[in-house]
Amino acid sequence: QKEVEQDPGPLSVPEGAIVSLNCTYSNSAFQYFMWYRQYSRKGPELLMYTYSSGNKEDGRFTAQVDKSSKYISLFIRDSQPSDSATYLCAMIDRGSTLGRLYFGRGTQLTVWP
């Protein structure tokens, strides 16, 4: 079993839709949870991160962490064609040097006009 599982999609939605992206994980020591956006042939770009459980909102993006279920989500409201990219979840283990990120394989999202 991989430490971080993420459905690769692809996911295709119309402009304006609410998008839900999810990851599950098996390591209960993960304490920081990140979401990255990666455009084709580019490097990952950090969207937001959350510490432990709870919600965090930033504009059209909301991240949720449920540590009891080992489940994290990213919601995108009012999705735009410019949101079309691959979204990667990532996590850090509190017992590590805090230098190693564990990534999901990414979900490919297309928002069509």
Partner 1 sequence: NAGVMQNPRHLVRRRGQEARLRCSPMKGHSHVYWYRQLPEEGLKFMVYLQKENIIDESGMPKERFSAEFPKEGPSILRIQQVVRGDSAAYFCASSLGQTSAIEAFFGQGTRLTVV
Given the rule CB under 8 A, which residues bind partner 1?
4, 6, 8, 32, 34, 36, 41-46, 49, 88, 90, 92, 96-106
d(CA 35, CA 22) in angstroms, rounded, equals: 10
User: Residue 108 Cβ, how far from partner 1 at the closest point, in Å?
Assistant: 11
User: Residue 81 Cβ, how far from partner 1 at the closest point, in Å?
Assistant: 22
User: Residue 109 Cβ, how far from partner 1 at the closest point, in Å?
Assistant: 15
Using the minimum distance from each CB to partner 1, give the nearer residue, 2 or 77. 2
Residue 83 has φ and ψ, to the nearest 5°, of: -80, -5
Q: List the Cα angle 98/101/103 in 5-degree steps.
A: 160
On the question of a cis peptide bond just before residue 113, with omega within 30 degrees of 0, the verdict is no
User: Residue 10 Cβ, how far from partner 1 at the closest point, in Å?
Assistant: 12
Using the minimum distance from each CB to partner 1, give the nearer residue, 20 or 93. 93
Max CA pair span of the chain = 44
Using the minimum distance from each CB to partner 1, give the nearer residue, 51 or 112. 51
What 3-state DSSP class applies to 40?
Answer: coil
